[in-house]
Amino acid sequence: MLQNLLSRLKWGLTVCGIILLGAGIYTMVMASKTPYDLNALNDDEFKSGMIVEGDITFNLGAYEESVTTRNGIQQKSSAIWYYIVPVGDESYIGVAVKANERGAEFDKQTDQTYAWLNEETDEYPITLHVKGKLAKMDSQDKALYKEAFKQLGYSDSEFEAYGIPLYIGTNDFAGWLPLVLGGAALFAVGIVLIVVTSLRKRR
C-alpha cells in the first residue's frame, strides 16, 4: 500500500514539476520578447501570435463572456469578458480581461465612452493599459463579435472592413519565476523519490 502510494507520489510530483517548468519557461520567453506598440500598428499589421502593449482610450462594450464549468457548475471567478476596442486607423479588435480583476474598470470605460459619444460630457474616458498576445477568434467568438457590431448599427460589409477577428489575451507574463522555481522544486523532489525507491528495490 505504502509502496504504491510512493510510486504514485514520485511520478505525480515529477510530472507536475515538468508541467510547471514548461509553463514557466514559456512565460519567461514571452516576457523577454519586446512587445509591439499597440497604438502604432496600422490596420493591416495585426497578426495572430504577436505580443502587443499599449493604451486603450475607449471601448464599445463587451461582446462575450466565457466561464469555466466544473461538474456542471459555472465558476464565476474564472469569467473572462471580451470588449470591442479601437486599433489602427479605423479598425477594431477584441480584448479579453478577467472579470474579477479588470471588468469593473472596462465597464466604467464603456459607460464613459458612450457618455462622450452622446455628448453628455466633455470628459474623455479613462485610459486603460493592456499587454498580451493576439489570438485568432474561433467561429463562436467571431459570431458573437459580429452580432455585437450589428447591434451597434454596423452592416455586414462594414464589419468585414473594420472588425479584425483577433483579440488580445491580456497577460503581462510577469509570473514566470514562481512557476520555474515551483516546477524545479517539484521535479527535484520527484527525482529524489525515484532514486531512493530504486535503491531500496536493489537491496
Q: Is the dihedral of CA 35, 36, 39, 40 positive or negative?
A: positive
Give the model confidence (pLDDT) of 170-200 as tens digits.
665 555 566 667 767 766 766 766 666 666 6
Query: Do residues 78 and 94 both lie within one domain?
Result: yes
Residue 18 is predicted with a pLDDT of: 74
Query: Do residues 126 and 53 both lie within one domain?
Result: yes
Query: Do residues 125 and 150 both lie within one domain?
Result: yes
Query: Do residues 123 and 64 both lie within one domain?
Result: yes
Domain of residue 156, residue span? 34-170
pLDDT at 145 over 80: yes
| Tally of structural domains, the chain | 2
Residue 137 has phi, psi (to 5 degrees) of: -70, 140
Say what percent of the chain tops pLDDT 70. Answer: 66
Model pTM score = 0.71
Give the model confidence (pLDDT) of 61-104 as tens digits.
999 998 776 665 656 667 899 999 999 999 999 999 999 889 99
Place of cell 474598470: 105
Query: Do residues 41 and 140 both lie within one domain?
Result: yes
Query: Do residues 62 and 106 both lie within one domain?
Result: yes
Q: For residue 193, give Cα distances in angstroms to 10, 25, 142, 152.
A: 6, 24, 49, 60
Among 20-29, 32-41, 133-142, the minimum mean pLDDT is found in: 20-29
Query: Do residues 15 and 97 both lie within one domain?
Result: no
